[in-house]
Chains A and B, each alone.
Chain A
Amino acid sequence: MYKILKKEVLAPTLNLFEIQAPLVAKKAKAGQFVILRIHEEGERIPLTIADFDQVKGTITCVFQEVGKTTKELGALCQGDCIKDFVGPLGVPSHIEKYGRIACVGGGVGVAPVHPIARALKEAGNQVTGIIGARTKELLFWEDKMRAACSELRVATDDGSYARQGFVTDLLKEAIEEKGDIALCVAIGPLPMMRAVCNLTRQYNLKTIVSLNSIMVDGTGMCGCCRVTVGGETKFACVDGPEFDGHQVDFAEMARRSVIYKPQEQIALERYNNQGAHKCSCGCGGDR
């Protein structure tokens, strides 16, 4: 069992967990992910590592409640345990000194981009951080990103905070202003990563994206997470999760990501009807 040492509600439906997993924390690197299963009947879901602490032996994950499993996860409280937690999985981010780098995080993607930006800055790069969210309420980790990057630019889709616009708008400005950005790292929802790639392609700016495909085992055993990159089939779990965004077949990726949509809806409705809230925090279910 893996204990939730800390829970932070970053925004409605957006949670941060700090989970006790010393063996995972010992080896975790920026860009990797974990797979967890809440209980015996649960499914295995991948979550990208948002932070790690070798000394405390913890892994930090940030997740949005979208389906049954993430809702159920969000209903857990500090002190609760998760049945299975395995990692670190996937290939770590390639960290070297490129010069100037743009690290773009959209929505919940701010969390996984954070340790990458930090590692790239530590490697001597000038890191321009760009983060965005739909609205002010959903924006998080501005402070952590400011510390991890050399400079930070912020936008909200609706203009409720900082600049009104998309991360692509800010990225375009940064590229033209700086003129010498050597690499772009972009993590966020599929449409956002796709939009970033469409933009950077015009500037011939190499762009790394992190793909959160549907997975089962996460060790290369099932092939559920396969994605076409540069015309070749790759497994996101062992060949990725990071790929050259200009080579990724986003259209295929988008269609494969909704394979189980009808089932996800059935599971979610069933969960909502049961009103199941299992925790030991004594909140009585209203959190």
Chain B
Amino acid sequence: MAEAKKEKKPIISEKNPMPAQDPIERAKNFHEVSLGYSQEAVVAEANRCLMCKNEPCRQGCPVEVDIPAFIKLAANRDFAGSARKLKEKNALPGVCGRVCPQENQCEKYCTLGKKHQPVGIGRIERFIADWELNGGIQTQHVAPATGKKVAVVGSGPAGLTCAADLAKQGHKVTIFEALHVAGGVLMYGIPEFRLPKAVVQAEVENLKKLGVEIQVNAVVGKFATVDELIEEGGYDAVFIGTGAGLPYFMQIPGENACGVYSANEFLTRTNLMKAYKFPECDTPIRVGCKVAVLGGGNVAMDSARTALRLGAQESWIVYRRSKVELPARHEEVEHAEEEGVKFAFLTFPTRIIYDDNYWVTGMECIRCELGEPDASGRRSPVPIKGSEYIMDVDTVVVAIGQGPNPLVPRTTKGLELNRKGNIIANLETGATSKPGVYAGGDVVTGAATVILAMGAGRTAAKSIHAYLSEK
């Protein structure tokens, strides 16, 4: 046996390919783009792992998953064991396996990745999560009840993670969600073709099995304030994870014309309300022939790809910088390109043009060139004088970012906010200026990623547990 261990593994340079729907076909439907690994592929991929001693991948995971352990179990075909290992640290593996930017996290640090392609950690994670979701849920260990009550405001990735961690430690957790279904951005924002809603709901159901109670249709700040939850509701601590739900607009003329959507509205109608099934589902959406999506992040890519699926003949990403500065994940840009999304780089919209009925008929843009780097380190776009032109579009989706929804921050006494309205919280603990109140995710950091919000939820859960233990 000792000799067998020393035997060097043959290195396989490339990841096992992820099967995906044909780009032309998938641009017409809302089914998931990536189809997931087969058992053979996942075992082969897990076996690419070098099982190196220093395990650098682990430092790249915001929720501290024991990556080598779950991969090793997968390599040995112990999928149940692998799922258990994964679930120890990650309450939403089916979500993370699909939407985490692994290239900037775990896979970035992979030893194999130094000379070859890194191990497809995200792809393995997705397989294990799906295997568990399809084949019966493993019961998870829940500590004896502590008698402490925690209110979690918002059921997005931060809130769900925080709730799961606290429930496992025996605290009674209630999540308050403003919409009619739990999941936050996972339900209203990220499209079905990237993250099937059934996967999100299955993970939410798992949370309920831990004893977490979820109250939907409950807008904190309206039906009760955070202070009232503490004083009248008897909650011993509160976690605020209300996300970045306030859409920004360009502040250019014509932006209220019919046919101009915020990305939030465009995606919410499509994902949460299933407008793509109209008239079977009641919520309508109008997509014209030629759609311009303003912005270059993941939300912009999601919007442009959604527009194609809703029947747009042309879908354009209009971005003021160049391709290299696009903030979206590389994979998302690639998928968008494959599906036929077009790109207008170095282009800045200055005015939206509309007809007598107030419907969009075009968009005036000015061409830009890249100047000096700005505060973010990216070269900033400088308009070229006299280069204005009219882009022929009939629908505009503004995807230039979101701010924190002010409903909770503004109605909570003694909660310190920054200039932009984000809650000020200690990033190491999640503690806010108000005792017993913690916050994390986009409402603190501004719009970021699912996994960073989850990491913040985990951090806050640790602090809340410590706080409750001392209380």
Interface residues of A (CB under 8 A from B): 23-24, 26-27, 37, 41-44, 68-69, 83-89, 216-217, 219-224, 226-228, 233, 238, 252, 255-256, 259-260, 263-264, 266-267, 270
Contacts and interface: CB of A to CB of B under 8 A. Distances in A.
Contact of B178 (A27, A219, A263): A219
A252 B280 CA distance: 30
7 contacts: A26-B223, A41-B280, A87-B219, A220-B405, A223-B264, A228-B256, A255-B357
Contact of A86 (B219, B249, B262, B281): B219
Contact of A87 (B179, B222, B278): B222
B265 A260 contact: no
B215 to A, nearest CB: 9
A259 B286 contact: yes
Given A84-B217, A86-B218, 8 more contacts: A23-B223, A216-B265, A216-B269, A217-B179, A221-B405, A224-B262, A233-B249, A233-B255
B301 to A, nearest CB: 19
Contacts of B223: 23-24, 26-27, 87-88
B180 A83 contact: yes
Given A37-B180, A83-B180, A263-B286, A224 B265 contact: yes
A263 B284 contact: yes
B441 to A, nearest CB: 15
Top 5 nearest A-B pairs (CB, nearest first) are A263-B284, A222-B265, A43-B282, A255-B358, A86-B217
B247 A43 contact: no
A262 to B, nearest CB: 8
A135 B265 CA distance: 38
Contacts of B11: none
| Interface residues of A, dominant DSSP | mixed
Nearest to B283: A43
Contacts of A26: 223
A219 B408 CA distance: 11
A223 B357 contact: no
B12 interface: no
B144 to A, nearest CB: 31
Contact of A223 (B218, B262, B358): B262
Most chain A CB inside 10 Å of its own CB: which residue of B256, B268, B277, B278: B256
A25 B357 CA distance: 40
Contacts of A41: 274, 277, 280-282
A75 B277 CA distance: 23
Given A88-B223, A89-B219, A238-B407, A221 B245 contact: yes
Given A217-B268, A219-B407, A267-B282, A27 B256 contact: no
Given A83-B180, A221-B264, A263 B278 contact: yes
Contacts of A84: 180, 216-217
Contacts of A252: 256, 358
Interface of B: 178-180, 188, 216-219, 222-224, 245-247, 249, 255-256, 258, 261-262, 264-265, 268-269, 273-274, 277-284, 286, 357-358, 405-407
Nearest to A255: B358
Contact of A217 (B178, B216, B280): B178
Nearest to A83: B180
Given A233-B249, A256-B256, A219 B268 contact: no
A222 B264 contact: yes
A39 to B, nearest CB: 9
Contacts of B273: 43-44, 216
A267 B246 contact: no
A212 B274 CA distance: 23
B256 A270 contact: no
Contacts of B284: 43, 260, 263-264, 267
Contacts of B278: 263, 267
B249 A223 contact: yes
Contact of B405 (A27, A219, A255, A264): A219
A226 B280 CA distance: 27
B406 A220 contact: yes
A137 to B, nearest CB: 29
Nearest to A37: B180
Contacts of B178: 86, 217, 219
Given A27-B222, A83-B180, A233-B256, A221 B247 contact: yes
B265 A223 contact: yes
Contacts of B245: 219-221
Contacts of B264: 221-223
B256 A216 contact: no
Most buried by A among B179, B258, B262, B282: B282
Contacts of A233: 249, 255-256
Contacts of B180: 37, 44, 83-84, 86
> By CB atoms of chain B within 10 A, which of A85, A89, A217, A238 has the most?
A217
A222 B180 CA distance: 15
A57 to B, nearest CB: 12
Contacts of A266: 279
B131 to A, nearest CB: 28
